[in-house]
Amino acid sequence: MKKNNIIWCLFLVLPCAMIIYCASLVPLTAPFNGLNPFTGNGTNKLALIRAIATNTSEIVSLIDPPNSLTSDEIPTAATDEKDIVSLTDPPAGVVAANGDGTDETDVIQAIFDYATKANKTILIPKNYTFVVDNIYIGNKNHFSILGYGTLKHKNGATNAILDIENCSNFYIDTLNTNGNVANNKTDGQRLNEDLASVQIIQSHDFKIDTINDKNPAGDSLYLNDVDNASIGTLSATAKKPSGRNALTIIKAQDVTIDKVLSQNIGVPTMPSGICLEPNSCSDDIENVVIKSAEIKTSGMYGCAVGNHALANVNHIEINANITRDGTPDGTLFVLNHVDNFKGNITCNQEGTIAYGAVITACNYVDANLEIYNSITGLDVGKNSSNINLTGKIIGTAKNGMEIYEGLSQGVIDMDIKQVAQEDSQSGVIRISPGQAIDNLTFKGDYSFDKTGGYCFRVDWQMTNCRTEDLNMSGWTAKNMTTGADAGTLAINNDTPSRVT
């Protein structure tokens, strides 16, 4: 009798439970109001599918995603199994790669050729390492790469691991590379400038979510003549100082990079972390944003925008935290011939110190700089104009800041402390001989902390230059302003605590 009662209870309860459960689902044929449909016509969005598949809080219809997952902003990628070409399991008639440590360049190149010609997705399977010389994708559009395994340079490689040229509308979800620098170095250095890990040239309208590069021989990512590109995270690491740069940009327009992580990239003779460097006057770099960068290097520079070719380099934003441990022959942050720069830059030095930052021949710079432990904290000048700086300079062997060879229009609002620790003849700010300095305002905290021989040393004429809300307390009248043209700097007598 009891057994029959249990059966009858189950008979009544289970259907009710199923009705309640089904009511919580999102029907494929009755989606939420206001949501864009998923067509299922072969142009499926891989990132869209992944976002839906990983949402465990509710069930979402593929034909009716939430508004935040509209597909217009997500690059096209195949999602059907028939549209994915695996290196280890390609379609019939295409030879599979083994990932057995031998050079498989020809086999893998054939798979890439097949997949990109057919606008398919290339899958580099997880837990595989494929040894190659150079894989080339040229003149192709609408392809995708799922690089969960690794492409590794062979010993004695001759070109980039992955070379993409004259391509558009492609999407790389993840790409793992290994430059194998130990077996590709030149002249005894862990470096071969010809061997980028990923090289993208004359290409536009592409998106890369993640690049993980280890032990590069050259640049981890090299961009030349690219337009309208979005890159998520670029991670470049090495056990010992290796390669050239984590990121090199020669010519570019409208490029956004969310994050650069650079660890031990750049031997002492190479630039190192991030380098924007036009090769010719026609190599313009415009509208480039690097939202965040963490750089640790012993290379020549941590981050440099070095426009010695006098191209148009403008509207650049870089936010970076740079730590350097190397020779004294270097500078952590460099801007040269750049217009319209903004950013937040922190420079730290460990061990042997070098120069902090240099800004030359630039116009319209708005930056927050924090510079710790350097020879000279900041050099600025060479006909720069409209330079507005905030932040701090803490700990220098010589001058906190040097201004030279023409600087006009700007506000220097910085705290400068613990200067001239290895040279009692140096001080907080020196105006060096050269060209006139015009219309500058000095603000911040330069108060005497028992370091430095002067607050200002003015060795060249200044016009329309003044202090404003500048703390100069502790300096004697003799050492507050010195130099042949000390009288050309107007000290604001309304500034509280400016001198004792």
Amino acid at 225: D
Token pair for 166: 């004259």
Give the Cα separation of 255 and 261 in Å (integer): 17
> Would 22 be classed as within a structural domain?
no
> Who's near 33: CB < 8 A, 6+ residues apart?
none
Give the domain extent around 188: 95-490
> Would 472 be classed as within a structural domain?
yes
Nearest CA to 270 among 290, 294, 295, 298?
298
Buried b / exposed e across 383-420, counting CB within 10 Å, b at 16+? ebbbbbbbbbbbbbbbbbbbbbbbbbbbbbbbbbbbbb
> Would 15 be classed as within a structural domain?
no
> Would 386 be classed as within a structural domain?
yes
> Would 280 be classed as within a structural domain?
yes
Q: Kindly report the backbone phi and psi dihedral angles of residue 2, in degrees, each rounded to the nearest multiple of 5, phi listed first.
A: -60, -35
Dihedral through CA 455, CA 461, CA 465, CA 468, nearest 10?
10
> Would 85 be classed as within a structural domain?
no
Q: Quote the pLDDT of residue 80.
A: 65
Amino acid at 357: A
> Who's near 201: CB < 8 A, 6+ residues apart?
163, 164, 165, 166, 223, 224, 225, 226
Q: Kindly report the backbone phi and psi dihedral angles of residue 455, in degrees, each rounded to the nearest multiple of 5, phi listed first.
A: -90, -55
Give the Cα separation of 164 and 236 in Å (integer): 19
> How far does Cα 81 stand from its chain's mean position?
34
Low-confidence ranges of the chain (pLDDT < 50): 1-78, 494-500
Q: Quote the pLDDT of residue 79.
A: 52
Give the Cα separation of 251 and 273 in Å (integer): 17
Q: Quote the pLDDT of residue 492.
A: 84
Q: Quote the pLDDT of residue 493.
A: 55
> Would 2 be classed as within a structural domain?
no
Residue 12, H or E segment: helix 2-23
Largest CA distance in the chain: 112
pTM of the model: 0.84
Give the Cα separation of 172 and 162 in Å (integer): 12
> Would 37 be classed as within a structural domain?
no
Dihedral through CA 379, CA 382, CA 383, CA 387, nearest 10?
-20
> Who's near 49: CB < 8 A, 6+ residues apart?
62, 79
Give the Cα separation of 498 and 477 in Å (integer): 10
Give percent of the chain with pLDDT exceeding 70. Answer: 82
Cβ atoms within 10 A of the Cβ of 269, count? Answer: 15
Q: Quote the pLDDT of residue 452.
A: 96
DSSP 8-state symbol, 5: H
For the chain, how many structural domains are there in total? Answer: 1
Q: Quote the pLDDT of residue 73.
A: 35
Q: Kindly report the backbone phi and psi dihedral angles of residue 396, in degrees, each rounded to the nearest multiple of 5, phi listed first.
A: -130, 150
> Who's near 373: CB < 8 A, 6+ residues apart?
348, 349, 350, 353, 394, 395, 396
Give the Cα separation of 215 and 242 in Å (integer): 6
Q: Quote the pLDDT of residue 416.
A: 98
Q: Residue 135 maps to which CATH number?
A: 2.160.20.10
